[in-house]
Amino acid sequence: MPDQFLDTAINRLIYLETKMGTQVQHQIMPPFNKSFHDTISIQETAKEIAAFIGMDTFTFIVSFTKQKEKVGGHIDLSNSGKNVFIEIDENSLDFPEAICATLCHEICHKWLQKNHLELPVERENEILTDIATIFLGLGKVMLNGSKTSAVKEKMTSEGTRTTTRTL
């Protein structure tokens, strides 16, 4: 099974390089060190990611809502206009790295659509999207958001209570 996955990943990278290699900057976006205070800061991050991969003609409008289990976000690709809607799971609000990783993934869905590189099978397209994030230089951001935790400390009468949540 690992060999099959590796073959799939290599084939997807070759596919992306063959189709788009000359049009990609081949730089790596440094990981974000952000805490989001409001929707505007999240919108600005989406804009920054989009500009990094050459999608600065689009406006990504981000909102938070409950997603299906094991789904971090969703992008509406039905609109052919310049406004693109992204929904991120509301459980991600305490995890800025996960928000950044989800934005990278969802914006790459739009990049694939714009460049007519989508695959017809949903699971295959999801794999291609993850590989495209790496191909486009967003791999470090994705890795930082893949395993995240949030620690909160609260003073109580018995001392400090520490709570750790993992996404």
Nearest-angstrom CA–CA distance, 108 and 114 = 10
- The answer to whether residue 163 scores a pLDDT higher than 60 is no
To the nearest 10°, report the CA torsion of 33, 46, 167, 6: -100
pLDDT grade for 149, boundaries at 50, 70 and 90: low
Nearest-angstrom CA–CA distance, 121 and 51 = 28
Q: How far is CA 138 from CA 26, 40, 105, in A?
A: 10, 21, 9
Is there a contact between 85 and 63 (Cβ–Cβ < 8 Å)?
A: yes
- The answer to whether residue 36 scores a pLDDT higher than 80 is no
- Write down the pLDDT at residue 153: 64
What are the tens digits of pLDDT across the range 104-139?
999 999 999 999 998 888 889 999 999 999 999 999
Q: What is the mean pLDDT of the chain?
A: 85
- The answer to whether residue 29 scores a pLDDT higher than 70 is yes
What are the tens digits of pLDDT across the range 63-101?
998 888 878 889 999 978 899 999 998 888 888 888 999
Give the residue extent of every domain in the chain: 2-166
Which residues does 115 contact at the CB level (< 8 Å), separation at least 6? 19, 20
Q: What is the mean pLDDT of residues 133-146?
A: 89
Share of the chain above pLDDT 70, in %: 89
More confident residue, 161 or 52: 52
- Give the lowest-confidence range in 10-14, 113-117, 131-135, 152-156: 152-156
